[in-house]
Structure 1
Amino acid sequence: MMDNKQVIDAGNQDKCYDYHQSANTLFRFMSELDYLLPSLTELSLLPRYVLENVEYLKLEYKGQQVKWLLIPMLCFCDINLHKLSMHVDGLFGNNDGYGEYGLGLDKKWCEEKGLQPVSYLNGKASQTEMLRLVFNQGLDLIDKGKLDESNEDLYDFIITQVSQSKPLWGKMRKGTDEVQKNFHDEREWRFIPNLEDSTSPEFLNDVTTPGITNLKVRQDLSNALQAEKDTHLELGIDIIKYIFVKNSGDKERVLTLLDDNFSRKEALEMATKIVIYNQIVKDW
Structure 2
Amino acid sequence: MNFIFEYIRIIKPYFGRMKRRDGRGRIQVIEKNFQDEHEWRYIPKLDPNELPLMLIEEDDINAEKLNHIYTDSVPLTTKGVLNFGVEDVRYIFVDTAQNREKLIKFIRGKRRGKRLSPMEKDILISKIMVYDELKEDW
How does the TM-score come out when normalised to structure 1? Answer: 0.28
Q: Which has the higher strand share?
A: 1
Q: Could you state the TM-score of these two structures normalised by the residue count of structure 2?
A: 0.50
Q: Report which of the two structures shows the higher radius of gyration computed on alpha carbons.
A: 1
| Higher relative contact order, chain-length normalized (CA < 8 Å, sep 6+) | 1
